[in-house]
Structure 1
Amino acid sequence: MHNFYKNKIIPPFIFLPLFISLSGCAWVHDEKPAIAETDIAQLRTPQIPKAAMQKWPGSDWWTDYHNPQLNALVAQALKDSPSIAVVQQRVEVAKAHIKMSEASDGPQVDFGADLERQKMSAEGVMGPFALDDPAAGTTGPWYTNGTFGLQGRYELDLWGKNRAHIQSALGVYQAKQAELAEARLLVSSAVVELYWDIQTYMALKQTLMDLREQETLIAKTDRQLYEQGVTSSIDDTSTSIRLAKIDEQIDVSKGRLRLLQTSLQAMLGMNAPAVHLTPVTLPEMKDSLPSVLGYELLARRPDLQAAHWYIEASLSAVDAAHAAFYPSINLMGFLQYDALHMSDLFRSSAQQMGAIAGLTLPVFDSGRLNANLGIVRANSNLSIASYNKAVVEAVSDVAKNASQVQTLSDENAHQQTVLDGSQHIYSLAQQHFSVGIISGAQVAKAKLPLLQEQAKKIQLQGEWISADIRLIRAVGGGYRAQNTETVHHG
């Protein structure tokens, strides 16, 4: 071989282009594989209890309560929420990144102009121009050089690198839109839950006030009987204890109401008018979700949809990182005027133009391209792993909330039986009072258990409403993912 090169039968530099091409094609090494993404269409979801079966909530699900007061509160919160405003700006930033990526894939034309005043060196390459010899065309040593014109360049996206960047930016934009829907869901569900919590405690406080009124009536009647000599003794201690316990419950309800009202005011914005709610009847317990939850879960939960779009964006980023290993071809051109003297700048003879086709192939970059590929692949796998985790948590979230709805529905059925029995006993007492068999104090005593059971009923009803709202939130609150062309990755 030494003699072969020595005799110069084939010059060694002939192999240089082939070496560069082969090294460029085989540059990628030790790339980690993509991890598997959970196929939610094949996912086995828990059986949803019967009490949680009906239909999917609509995107404006809170209007199903038919409560104009609530609708106005949600509308105001969605309009003025600071958290929604933050996510909205993130959407705008993502949209701007798409435009930037699209612009990077197109041709670019610049206009440039410069003016230079310089003194030529007599000892340099341009030494003759330092002389003042008009016959030779030199008027040195000072010159005022001017240049102006157009320059254009365009990169041929043969390997899809720029297109992959655009798809990645589009995926992030879609993810941010889904995050905006998630923010709107969190705000609306929080306002609705706070509203019904307030209504629950308002109803509970009124029931406790009625209960205290009955206890006070009983105590008053007992004292009158004692003063009239009908009874020989009176025990004020037990009555005082019962009233104190009721007062304690009333104070707890009032404190809870103040806290809930402050939280609601914060959700609406501190500059919003003070909220004064009118008491309304609590919604009746009803069914709320279908019995089968399969692939639909993906489209109904905005957080899962956002995670899915982040995966799409990351896979496009991997495609772009792969394409960076291949040659890039750039087309450049210029049309400009250049003159050593400003007086000659606008002459046709000062015009110059040209076109350049350039090829760049990475040969040795100290591992930069492989490091970049490793980063984007790891980020992509992180997105997939996060999505897989979110899917498991989403299914578990739905199952737990549905189970809670079922449990509260069962408890409510039992409580209704107790309440009906208490109502029946109270009705008998009223009948006995109407015919003079018992006194009004005895009727009041018969009403005490009824009011106590009504208070338990109100609490159960409030807990069920909160559980139902959390269940609606768990399935996405009626969110519908936008139909967007799927990006395929090889």
Structure 2
Amino acid sequence: MPVWRASVRMALVSLAGLVAAGLIATGLSGCADMSGIAPQASLRDAPSLGLNTATAPAPVAAEWWRDFGDETLNGLVTKALETSPSLKLAQARLARAQAATDVAHAATLPQVNGQLDLTRQRYTANGAVPPPLAGSIRESATAQLAASWELDFFGKNRTALDAALGSAKAAQADAQAARVLLASQVARSYFQLVRLNEQSGVASRTLAQREETLKLVRDRVNAGLDTRLELRQSEGGLPEARLQLEAVQEQMALTRNALNALLGQPNSASALVPSAQSAIKNVALTPNIPADLLGRRADIAAARWRVEASSKDVVNAKTQFYPNINLVAFAGFSSIGLGNLLNSGSQQWGVGPALRLPIFEAGRLRANLRGKTADLDAAVESYNAAVIDAVRDVADQVASSQAIGRQQAEQRAAQDAAESAYGIAVQRYKAGLGNYLNVLTAETSVLAQRRLAVDLAGRALDTQVALIRALGGGYAPEQLPGAQNATKLIAVNARPVSVNGLFD
């Protein structure tokens, strides 16, 4: 039998012996000392949040902003999704997490390395090197391939890979959450600009009305029909109207700056002409909180994947208590004298197993396990906090949406009354039964109602966008390429994972 085959057989026999010894050592040690270390937190599910599982409205469309029927808004959101630095940052973090997954996957496979060393050396004449090398200057060389493979009997590398996959999934959900947030911020800023543009028109009309009032009062003072008191009161109303117009224009400038920042392109929204508020469609949304809300939100999905990654980190920390078993081999040439490097006599090779078993590590492994368990508790509580905040967010937006609808109904009634009074004042003025000052006074009430109508309509649009974002903003979980072994995301209305079961 060739020598190398006999050596390989002996290595395999030794490997079997090491595996058996490792298993015996593991059994004798009682699976190491992990007593008293267990997570304390538990995941919240739909029943504990009081969500109604009977309602399941359709999810929000991925490009929900198109439902408002405004091409200007569509263009702004599209541009922001293409150029925003905040979104590119989230995508870079996703790429980093995917790279970490590849690194963890590589640890589960055999590793092969090449080596080439060339050395010119003088050997000591007074050491352990015998003549004729002693005191001579020679060249030495080594050329070989080395291979190693950690036999993952206890799942250390597999759990590290699962943890990396969970982190990559969390980063992927974070990138989607950034996309949803960016789109909603652009839409809300644009609707704010639409509202301010409408308010600017009302403020301009108010200024014009105050100027007409001042002219009329002056004429009446000159005719002896009014006193200087009325004149001074009318003069004070003019700078007040200019102040309101300037304040609106300042808010418009700040809103445009906010849009520029969201788009990542300075001055891109400076010349933007917003659409009329009446031309924007309202989006009808469900008045109920869906039971599958937490499966629709990217931030909740990211928090859930972090729980999965932390749970795998805990399992990985447990595997550190068990032996490591490696299979190592090398083959190549080594010689003194470069001319002899490729001679058959310069061949060298070796193969054999190695076992490493922690015996005394001064509590390091238990401390590491406690730390990973604390991380898991923190991830679970972060998930629970995100869940509770998500439910509150949706509830707030639903309540605001319903309240705004009722306020708009009352405001329309008040505006109808003001418009009617204004119409009567105009008719009386035309008939010679009243003066024009009464007309302007009636128009003041109309303008006040128009400002209120613009504000309420703006709030309605803003609340619709906020509710869309709270309902997930069109997020749909996607499977990461090459992540077939990753744990599937568990919906909130399904049975939650037993975190304590990790320590059974």
For Structure 1 versus Structure 2, the TM-score category normalised by the shorter chain is 0.7 to 0.9
Q: Match for 1:461 among 457, 464, 469?
A: 457
Q: Does the 8 Å CA contact 1:35/1:384 hold for their aligned counterparts?
A: no
- Partner amino acid, structure 1, of 2:298: P
Identify the residue that residue 268 of structure 1 maps to in structure 2: 263
Matching of residues 51-450 of structure 1 within 5 Å? 56-121=59-124, 124-130=127-133, 141-227=136-222, 231=225, 233=227, 235-282=230-277, 286=282, 288-432=284-428, 438=434, 441-450=437-446
Q: 1:385 to 1:44 in 2, by over 3 A?
A: closer
Following superposition, the deviation at residue 55 of structure 1 comes to: 5.7
- Partner amino acid, structure 1, of 2:190: Y
Q: Secondary structure at the match of 1:263?
A: helix
Q: Does the 8 Å CA contact 1:24/1:326 hold for their aligned counterparts?
A: no
Q: Does the 8 Å CA contact 1:337/1:350 hold for their aligned counterparts?
A: yes
Which has more radius of gyration? 1
Q: Does the 8 Å CA contact 1:214/1:445 hold for their aligned counterparts?
A: no
In the alignment, structure 1 residue 486 sits paired with structure 2 residue 487:
yes
- d(CA) in 2 for partners of 1:21, 1:312: 27
In the alignment, structure 1 residue 29 sits paired with structure 2 residue 34:
yes
Following superposition, the deviation at residue 228 of structure 1 comes to: 5.2
Q: 1:31 to 1:113 in 2, by over 3 A?
A: farther
- d(CA) in 2 for partners of 1:42, 1:90: 34
Q: Does the 8 Å CA contact 1:31/1:374 hold for their aligned counterparts?
A: no
Q: 1:431 to 1:144 in 2, by over 3 A?
A: same
Cα deviation digits, residues 304-344 of structure 1 (max 9, x gap)? 11111111111111121112222222111111112233222
Task: Report which stretch shifted further, 90-99 or 253-262.
Answer: 253-262
- d(CA) in 2 for partners of 1:299, 1:18: 42
Following superposition, the deviation at residue 384 of structure 1 comes to: 0.8
Task: Report which stretch shifted further, 439-448 or 191-200.
Answer: 439-448
Q: Does the 8 Å CA contact 1:322/1:373 hold for their aligned counterparts?
A: yes
- Partner amino acid, structure 2, of 1:28: D
Identify the residue that residue 494 of structure 2 maps to in structure 1: none
Q: 1:21 to 1:165 in 2, by over 3 A?
A: closer
Following superposition, the deviation at residue 438 of structure 1 comes to: 4.8
Q: Does the 8 Å CA contact 1:107/1:154 hold for their aligned counterparts?
A: yes
- d(CA) in 2 for partners of 1:214, 1:430: 14
TM-score by length of 2: 0.83
Cα deviation digits, residues 265-297 of structure 1 (max 9, x gap)? 222235453522224222578564324424422
- d(CA) in 2 for partners of 1:222, 1:122: 119
Identify the residue that residue 493 of structure 2 maps to in structure 1: none
Identify the residue that residue 12 of structure 1 maps to in structure 2: none
Task: Report which stretch shifted further, 27-36 or 114-123.
Answer: 114-123
Following superposition, the deviation at residue 197 of structure 1 comes to: 1.1
Identify the residue that residue 45 of structure 2 maps to in structure 1: 40
- Partner amino acid, structure 2, of 1:476: G
Following superposition, the deviation at residue 30 of structure 1 comes to: 3.3
Q: 1:306 to 1:249 in 2, by over 3 A?
A: same
Q: Does the 8 Å CA contact 1:81/1:267 hold for their aligned counterparts?
A: yes
Cα deviation digits, residues 400-454 of structure 1 (max 9, x gap)? 2222222222211111110112222233444555666555554443322112111
Following superposition, the deviation at residue 362 of structure 1 comes to: 1.7
Following superposition, the deviation at residue 129 of structure 1 comes to: 4.4
- Partner amino acid, structure 1, of 2:360: F
- d(CA) in 1 for partners of 2:248, 2:111: 68
Cα deviation digits, residues 179-210 of structure 1 (max 9, x gap)? 11222222222221111111111111211221
Q: 1:101 to 1:337 in 2, by over 3 A?
A: same
Following superposition, the deviation at residue 382 of structure 1 comes to: 1.0
Q: Does the 8 Å CA contact 1:45/1:293 hold for their aligned counterparts?
A: no
Which runs of 5 or more structure 2 residues have no equivalent in the other structure? Answer: 1-20, 481-485, 489-496
Following superposition, the deviation at residue 463 of structure 1 comes to: 2.4
- Partner amino acid, structure 2, of 1:78: L
Following superposition, the deviation at residue 481 of structure 1 comes to: 2.0
- d(CA) in 1 for partners of 2:132, 2:184: 80
Identify the residue that residue 492 of structure 2 maps to in structure 1: none
Identify the residue that residue 7 of structure 1 maps to in structure 2: none
Q: 1:409 to 1:173 in 2, by over 3 A?
A: same
Q: Secondary structure at the match of 1:149?
A: strand
Identify the residue that residue 137 of structure 1 maps to in structure 2: none
Q: Secondary structure at the match of 1:127?
A: coil
- d(CA) in 2 for partners of 1:477, 1:403: 18
- d(CA) in 2 for partners of 1:271, 1:471: 29
- d(CA) in 1 for partners of 2:121, 2:245: 91
- d(CA) in 1 for partners of 2:22, 2:253: 79
Q: Does the 8 Å CA contact 1:285/1:409 hold for their aligned counterparts?
A: no
- d(CA) in 2 for partners of 1:18, 1:277: 72
- d(CA) in 1 for partners of 2:145, 2:24: 37
Cα deviation digits, residues 243-264 of structure 1 (max 9, x gap)? 3332222222122222222222
Q: Secondary structure at the match of 2:327?
A: strand
Aligned length: 461
Q: Does the 8 Å CA contact 2:408/2:453 hold for their aligned counterparts?
A: yes
- d(CA) in 2 for partners of 1:382, 1:18: 34
Q: Secondary structure at the match of 2:102?
A: helix
Following superposition, the deviation at residue 455 of structure 1 comes to: 1.0
- d(CA) in 1 for partners of 2:453, 2:397: 20
Q: Does the 8 Å CA contact 1:335/1:351 hold for their aligned counterparts?
A: yes
Following superposition, the deviation at residue 165 of structure 1 comes to: 1.0
- d(CA) in 2 for partners of 1:312, 1:233: 79
Following superposition, the deviation at residue 41 of structure 1 comes to: 3.0
Task: Report which stretch shifted further, 445-454 or 17-26.
Answer: 17-26
Q: Secondary structure at the match of 1:32?
A: coil
Q: Secondary structure at the match of 2:49?
A: coil
Q: Does the 8 Å CA contact 2:170/2:301 hold for their aligned counterparts?
A: yes
Aligned alpha-carbon RMSD (Å): 2.8
Q: 1:44 to 1:375 in 2, by over 3 A?
A: closer
Q: Does the 8 Å CA contact 1:56/1:289 hold for their aligned counterparts?
A: no
- Partner amino acid, structure 2, of 1:306: A
- d(CA) in 2 for partners of 1:232, 1:92: 76
Q: Does the 8 Å CA contact 1:45/1:294 hold for their aligned counterparts?
A: no
- d(CA) in 2 for partners of 1:287, 1:67: 12
